[in-house]
């Protein structure tokens, strides 16, 4: 079992480590251009490909989206209150508190812990988080939350297409899957390389605040997942997925948007590193809570 777990998390640390090494060697790396490619091409493609490869019922998807929306809203409200109590600016830090890493870490852990039957629930919630990134996350990071920000969000249209296909039982055409699969496959590695590059610039003596906010992200996410699953009376399997996904560390996209909109990128990178280590260390407790 330990070897299986190492097999899940090893690629994550390996890719981020390569990005760190690339930065330390002084090689050129255009972070803003790469982040834009990931945001507007990679993520929508990954979303469509993931849902097309999984048998997802429409009612299950909608129930998971409702539960996930409530959990994210709870994290947002409690996170904003905690940041105000700590006298920290809410807008730059709140996206990192709200959004867990449900994709490149959450999905493998759900599969490892709960198996293939849990994946439709995990993918549905991960889709919701991606949409929140490009609506709430972009609005907070840029300081310009507007309907235009929502309407130009690529994952929003990807989800709309996915819902239409699932509702009508129509498969995504093979020629579309060939393209989305290729583009989606680039997404996670590029995000991890971006993360590793930021960690290569991180000042270790500035990790006090990221460490405290990392504890807030994991602890608050776990509490929100448990509270919402109990309040809605979810069945054991979707409830377990919600708890695990909500307790994941800071999402890599939080760093991507911090870079793009001149936020506290180094601190967010520190939060990603520390919260990832914290979530992995606390994984036995998280799995016990999800059982």
What does the H/E/C string look like for 173-241?
CHHHHHHHHHHHHHHHHHHHHHHHHHHCCCCHHHCHHHHHHHHHHHHHHHHHHHHHHHHHCCCHHHHHH
What is the per-residue pLDDT across 175-199, written as a single tens digit (0 to 9) for each?
888 898 888 888 878 878 877 777 6
Instruction: Inform me whether the pLDDT recorded for 265 exceeds 70.
Output: yes
In a domain, 199, yes or no: yes
In a domain, 24, yes or no: no
Range of the structural domain that residue 162 is part of? 29-290
Average pLDDT score over residue span 33-48: 79
In a domain, 6, yes or no: no
pLDDT at 136: 87
Secondary structure tally for the chain: helices H, strands E: 16, 0
Average pLDDT score over residue span 38-46: 80
Dihedral over Cα of 281, 284, 289, 290: its sign: positive
What is the per-residue pLDDT across 85-118, written as a single tens digit (0 to 9) for each?
999 999 999 999 999 998 778 887 888 788 878 8
Average pLDDT score over residue span 228-237: 91
In a domain, 142, yes or no: yes
Confidence of residue 8 (pLDDT cuts 50, 70, 90): low
pTM of structure: 0.79
Instruction: Inform me whether the pLDDT recorded for 205 exceeds 60.
Output: no
Q: For residue 122, what is the domain's CATH number?
A: 1.20.1530.20
In a domain, 101, yes or no: yes
The whole-angstrom separation of Cα 226 and Cα 220 is 10
The whole-angstrom separation of Cα 113 and Cα 261 is 36
Confidence of residue 145 (pLDDT cuts 50, 70, 90): low
Average pLDDT score over residue span 136-151: 75
Neighbours of 52 (CB within 10 A): 19
Confidence of residue 4 (pLDDT cuts 50, 70, 90): low
Instruction: Inform me whether the pLDDT recorded for 148 exceeds 80.
Output: no
pLDDT at 142: 80
Instruction: Inform me whether the pLDDT recorded for 270 exceeds 90.
Output: no
**Beta carbons of 129 and 252 less than 8 angstroms apart:** no
In a domain, 205, yes or no: yes
Q: Considering the chain, what is the average pLDDT of its residues?
A: 84
In a domain, 84, yes or no: yes
pLDDT at 54: 65
Neighbours of 59 (CB within 10 A): 8
SS3 5: helix
Average pLDDT score over residue span 224-235: 93
Q: What share of the chain is helix, strand, coil (3-state, %, to 5)?
A: 85, 0, 15
In a domain, 22, yes or no: no
Count of domains for the chain: 1
């Amino acid at each position: 079992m330990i070897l299986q777990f190492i097999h899940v998390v090893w690629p994550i640390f390996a890719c981020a480590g390569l990005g760190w090494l690339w930065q330390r060697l002084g090689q050129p790396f255009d972070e803003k251009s790469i982040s834009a490619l990931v945001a507007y091409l990679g993520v929508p493609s990954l979303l469509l490909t993931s849902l097309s490869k999984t048998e997802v019922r429409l009612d299950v998807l909608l129930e998971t989206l409702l539960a996930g929306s409530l959990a994210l809203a709870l994290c947002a409200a409690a996170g904003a209150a905690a940041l105000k109590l700590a006298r920290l600016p809410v807008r730059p830090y709140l996206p990192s508190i709200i959004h867990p890493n449900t994709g490149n870490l959450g999905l493998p852990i759900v599969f490892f812990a709960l198996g293939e039957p849990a994946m439709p629930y995990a993918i549905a919630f991960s889709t919701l988080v991606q949409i929140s990134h490009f609506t709430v996350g972009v609005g907070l990071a840029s300081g310009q939350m507007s309907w235009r920000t929502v309407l130009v969000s690529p994952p929003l249209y990807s989800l709309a297409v996915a819902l239409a296909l699932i509702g009508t039982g129509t498969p995504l055409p093979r020629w579309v899957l060939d393209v989305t699969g290729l583009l989606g496959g680039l997404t996670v590695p590029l995000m991890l390389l971006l993360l590793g590059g930021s960690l290569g610039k991180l000042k270790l003596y500035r990790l006090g605040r990221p460490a405290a906010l990392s504890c807030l992200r994991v602890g608050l996410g776990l509490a929100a997942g448990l509270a919402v699953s109990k309040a809605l009376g979810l069945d054991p399997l979707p409830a377990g997925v919600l708890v695990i996904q909500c307790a994941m560390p800071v999402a890599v996209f939080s760093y991507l948007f911090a870079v793009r909109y001149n936020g506290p990128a180094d601190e967010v990178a520190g939060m990603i590193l520390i919260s990832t280590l914290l979530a992995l260390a606390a994984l036995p407790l998280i799995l016990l809570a999800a059982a």
